[in-house]
Amino acid sequence: DTGVSQDPRHKITKRGQNVTFRCDPISEHNRLYWYRQTLGQGPEFLTYFQNEAQLEKSRLLSDRFSAERPKGSFSTLEIQRTEQGDSAMYLCASSATSGQPREANYGYTFGSGTRLTVV
C-alpha cells in the first residue's frame, strides 16, 4: 500500500451528465476527506468520513454532490447534473487520527486528484 489512489486521473464530461470518482485511502487510515481545488486557489474542504460515517459536510457540497464510504474503506464522490462551475481538481486525503498533538506523525496523505472538466 503505497499511498492514496484516485481514479480516474482525468475526466471530461458534458454539462448535465453524472460523474463518479473513486478514492482508495491508505488501508490503515480510518479517516477520509474530500477537497475541491479550482484553478489558482487552494483546496477547499467538502466532506469527511470516519470509517463509514460521514461526520462533516461543507456548505460547498450542494445537493448535486453525494459522497459515500460504504465499508469504511474506499469512497466515492458523485456529482449529478454537472455544471461548468464543477470543473476543478477533486482531491482525496486520508489520515489515521485527528493528529493532535503531534500531527506530523499522523498527518494527512493526499492522492494525486481527479481533474474534472465540464464542457
Residues near other proteins (CB under 8 A): 31, 33, 35, 40-45, 48, 55-56, 58, 89, 91, 93, 98-104, 107-113, 115
Give CA–CA dist 113/91, Å, rounded: 4
Residue with smaller CB distance to other proteins, 67 or 91: 91
For residue 16, the minimal CB distance to other proteins (Å) is: 26
Give CA–CA dist 103/12, Å, rounded: 36
Residue with smaller CB distance to other proteins, 21 or 35: 35
For residue 81, the minimal CB distance to other proteins (Å) is: 25
